[in-house]
Amino acid sequence: MPDAAYDDLADEPYTGLVTDSEVVYRGRVWDVRRDTVDLGDSTVVREYVDHTGAVAVLALDDEDRALLIRQYRHPIRSKDWELPAGLLDLTGEPPLEAAKRELAEEADMVADRWDVLVEFFSSPGGNNEVIRVYLARGVRAADDVFAREEEEADIEVRWVPLEEVVRGVLERRLRNAPLGIASLAAVAARENGYASLGKADEPLRRGSWLTRPLA
């Protein structure tokens, strides 16, 4: 049973006094920014990836099978199993619409029910990315098939029992972070009757991501 004594266990928004900030590398997708921060007793300089944020989708069918995709990821030199996901890089696009778009584009699927499953900072010491994972249910094939290119051209789609996804994560065969966090969160949420799910259209607080304008 939940213990109300721990209800205050939450990340605390806090903004250090930034005395200087500059983009030291402007990338094709995201930038590297260098901030000088006055912490009161000390001043530190930190470089980090200035990220757009992202969404991912854990889609479950009526048999509690999760929809996984496999594609090539160059930085890790692997074809990893992961969730349909993408950047929040379209100006004015709500996170929910981005999630629906990614599910359709990467897996040719649509869903009737959407809820917020979990949110997390992917690497708080190195970037300001926040990822929101949606739980999608009532999943069915989309009317249109998306023409995929580059790494996405060879995407493989597979339905896997949720318990087998968790087993793969715990046995360290599946190492994609959003997949691992989402699958474990889904099992925990299912055990409490999905009472922890959030409304699909609730606002997404993106940490310090304020600096990169979107085209």
In this prediction the pTM is: 0.91
pLDDT value, residue 66: 98
The residues pairing with 36 across neighbouring beta strands, listed in sequence order, are 20, 45
Told to judge if 151 belongs to the known catalytic residues of this protein, a careful annotator would answer yes
Average pLDDT rounded to a whole number, residues 57-77: 96
Q: Which amino acid is at 4?
A: A
Q: Which of 151, 164, 191, 202 is catalytic?
A: 151
Among left, alpha and beta (phi > 0; psi -120 to 50; other), residue 172 is: left
pLDDT over 50 at 215, yes or no: no
Q: Cα–Cα distance between 83 and 81 in angstroms, integer?
A: 7
Q: What is the pLDDT of residues 17-42, one digit of tens each?
A: 899 999 999 998 889 999 999 998 99
Q: What is the pLDDT of residues 113-167, one digit of tens each?
A: 999 999 999 999 999 999 999 999 999 999 877 665 556 668 899 999 999 999 9
